[in-house]
Amino acid sequence: MTTADIGLIGLAVMGSNLALNIAEKGYTIAVNNRSPARIDEFVTMAKEQGLAGKVIPKADLAEFVQAVSRPRSIIIMVKAGAPVDAMIEQLLPHLEQGDAIIECGNSLFTDTQRRFDYLKPKGIGYLGAGVSGGEEGARHGPSIMVGGSKEQWHNAEDVLTAIAAKFNGESCCAYLGEGGAGHFVKTIHNGIEYGDMQMIAEVYGVMRDGLGMAPQACADVFKEWNRGPLNSYLIEITGHVLAAIDEPTGKPLVELILDKAGQKGTGVWSAIAAQQMGVPATAIEGAVAARSISSRKDERIAAEKIYGKRSAGKADVTLADLEQALLAGKIVSYAQGFAVIAKASDENGWKLPLSTIAKIWRAGCIIRSRFLDQMAAAYAKGDNANLLIVPDFVTLMKENHGALRKVVAAGAVGEFPLICLSAALSYFDSYRQAQGTANLIQGQRDFFGAHGFEIEGRGKDLHGEWPSTLGN
Ligand code: NDP
């Protein structure tokens, strides 16, 4: 009987494309799906692409597991949440010591950690792998962030590194750490993605409303920017989205799309993780908040009736200012995202390699960019310092924060919401300010709660002689 190199359960968009990618790289893959009709559809797809010979379809779960060579690596690509737990329970009776489940969906990293801990004593390996790049990436080369059982990673390493995107010949797949490390990194990737997208949208808002630019003119600018330091997948697709025409009306499509953004939760998870660890990630938080505000369309319409439309005229910024502001905002956002990863690494003992993470984000994933190559090089040189104090990025911030300041100021005066860009600027200004204002906060905390404060040379946990405010 032919045995498969690997198995995959869940043949929806992501799973089927990943399976075709695996088959195309020369590996034999056994496939299974809850609804058998989907397996038939997949086999037809594989035939059309000349890959049927590499596919072993099995509708029966026991037969599916038996078809995979030992020690088994079984990818599950089903809906995140309870279906993953259900799938694990169904698989367990059929697995043997040393086999591994590789869960490739968008799972919450704490769930992955829990599943890893649950399966470890049973002798079953558990790998949580974040896969980025959407449908296209899954088919032709995603970025794959792997965490979990290291021993079993080595059993699947060849397949996963072969199917991942390549940057200068290097695979954009890496093992990052134990337990939920891979899914944690994928979550922060998505948080950073939220920040990138929101900052781009804010700059588009200034172009549209402050500079009176039509979508095609904006598209041309993004196309141009994609040849410079902002070169990235998101800048590239922004140009395409802005240039698209709606066929029935002949109008720019972007002008017809409702200004309500959806979200599936990974941005929120990033913000929560950052907050829980006490790491400021204001750009991610701003981006999540901006999506929430966008979804409240009715409230915004009502509020505009109360306050009136923005009255200010043309924004006093140039396109060069906007390009530089976007670059500075992006550096701050990545500095925050990587700071969250560094802290999680310390707290969980994951030893997350920041340089490797930047490297495997250089291709395949949604935030892929030229900039990440610079970041990988910077982190490869030394420790996990905040990007804002890493020499190459210090130079970039010195060159570009003035433009960010100018754009944020123009936003304030011109009544343009710049939630993410202004959050990035405020973080930068707070981070680089040796003398802040928390002395006053500590005074207030001691006044109402006797929380104490520190005075250099006089010690910690000191208290003030505050006047009584009872009765006021
Ligand atoms: P979906 O998230 O839409 O999930 C559909 C698949 O899950 C089907 O195969 C379905 O089987 C199976 N399924 C659902 N519930 C159960 C259950 N209780 N038991 C067994 N199987 C079940 O598929 P996608 O391909 O869109 O995504 C898969 C994973 O990848 C998700 O975690 C998603 O968040 C993540 N992801 C998705 C991306 C995308 O662009 N779509 C990008 C990156 C990650 P059936 O056919 O029987 O209904």
> Do 125 and 18 fall into the same domain?
yes
When divided into structural domains, the chain yields a total of 2
Residue 439 lies in a domain: no
Residue 450 lies in a domain: no
CA of 77 to the centre of ligand 1 (A): 6
> Do 322 and 203 fall into the same domain?
yes
Residue 79 is among the residues annotated as catalytic for this protein: no
Q: Which residues of 402-424 are buried (b: 16+ CB within 10 A; e: fewer)?
A: ebbbbbbebbeebebebbbbbbb
Q: What is the pLDDT of residue 150?
A: 95
> Do 296 and 276 fall into the same domain?
yes
> Do 229 and 152 fall into the same domain?
no
Q: What is the CATH number of the domain that holds 83?
A: 3.40.50.720
Residue 288 lies in a domain: yes
Neighbours of 443 (CB within 10 A): 13
User: Per-residue pLDDT tens for 114-131?
Assistant: 999 999 999 999 999 999
> Do 147 and 194 fall into the same domain?
no
User: Per-residue pLDDT tens for 79-118?
Assistant: 999 999 999 999 999 999 999 999 999 999 999 999 999 9
> Do 173 and 217 fall into the same domain?
no
Evaluate: CB of 142 within 6 angstroms of ligand 1.
no
Final residue belonging to a domain, choices 162, 179, 196: 179
> Do 332 and 356 fall into the same domain?
yes
Evaluate: CB of 86 within 6 angstroms of ligand 1.
yes
Residue 330 is among the residues annotated as catalytic for this protein: no
Q: Choose one of 34, 84, 85, 367 to mutate for the ligand 1 pocket test, by most ligand atoms within 8 angstroms of C-beta.
A: 34
Evaluate: CB of 80 within 6 angstroms of ligand 1.
yes
Residue 443 lies in a domain: no
Q: What is the CATH number of the domain that holds 195?
A: 1.10.1040.10
How do strand 55-57 and strand 125-132 relate by DSSP bridges? unpaired
Evaluate: CB of 141 within 6 angstroms of ligand 1.
no
Rounded CA separation 249/353 (Å): 50
CA of 88 to the centre of ligand 1 (A): 14
User: What is the residue-level pLDDT of the chain in tens, covering all 472 positions?
Assistant: 669 999 999 999 999 999 999 999 999 999 999 999 999 999 999 999 999 999 999 999 999 999 999 999 999 999 999 999 999 999 999 999 999 999 999 999 999 999 999 999 999 999 999 999 999 999 999 999 999 999 999 999 999 999 999 999 999 999 999 999 999 999 999 999 999 999 999 999 999 999 999 999 999 999 999 999 999 999 999 999 999 999 999 999 999 999 999 998 899 999 999 999 999 999 999 999 999 999 999 999 999 999 999 877 899 999 999 999 999 999 999 999 999 999 999 999 999 999 999 999 999 999 999 889 999 999 988 777 899 999 889 999 999 999 999 999 999 999 999 999 999 999 999 999 999 999 999 999 999 999 999 999 999 999 999 999 875 5
| DSSP string for residues in 34-94 | SSHHHHHHHHHHHHHTT-GGGEEE-SSHHHHHHTBPSSPEEEE---SSHHHHHHHHHHGGG
Evaluate: CB of 105 within 6 angstroms of ligand 1.
yes
| DSSP string for residues in 271-308 | HHHHHHTT---HHHHHHHHHHHHHH-HHHHHHHHHHH-
Residue 367 lies in a domain: yes
Alpha carbon distances (Å) from 432 to 23, 32, 406, 429: 51, 54, 18, 5
Phi and psi at residue 129, in whole multiples of 5°?
Answer: -115, 125
Residue 44 lies in domain: 6-179
Q: Please report the atom of ligand 1 found closest to the CA of residue 80.
A: 32
Evaluate: CB of 83 within 6 angstroms of ligand 1.
yes
Final residue belonging to a domain, choices 158, 179, 200: 179
CA of 268 to the centre of ligand 1 (A): 20
Final residue belonging to a domain, choices 146, 179, 212: 179
Which of the following is catalytic: 193, 202, 285, 323?
Answer: 193
> Do 315 and 286 fall into the same domain?
yes
Tell me the two tokens of residue 52: 């049927």
Evaluate: CB of 377 within 6 angstroms of ligand 1.
no
> Do 162 and 231 fall into the same domain?
no
Residue 258 lies in a domain: yes
Rounded CA separation 28/55 (Å): 6
Q: What is the pLDDT of residue 470?
A: 72
> Do 42 and 121 fall into the same domain?
yes
Contact by Cβ (8 Å): 266, 260 = no
> Do 330 and 403 fall into the same domain?
yes
Which of the following is catalytic: 54, 186, 343, 359?
Answer: 186
Protein residue closest via CA to atom 14 of ligand 1 = 79
> Do 281 and 397 fall into the same domain?
yes
Q: Choose one of 8, 14, 87, 266 to mutate for the ligand 1 pocket test, by most ligand atoms within 8 angstroms of C-beta.
A: 14
Rounded CA separation 280/288 (Å): 14
Evaluate: CB of 367 within 6 angstroms of ligand 1.
no
Question: pTM for the whole thing?
Answer: 0.95
Q: What is the pLDDT of residue 471?
A: 59
Residue 67 lies in a domain: yes
Residue 306 lies in a domain: yes
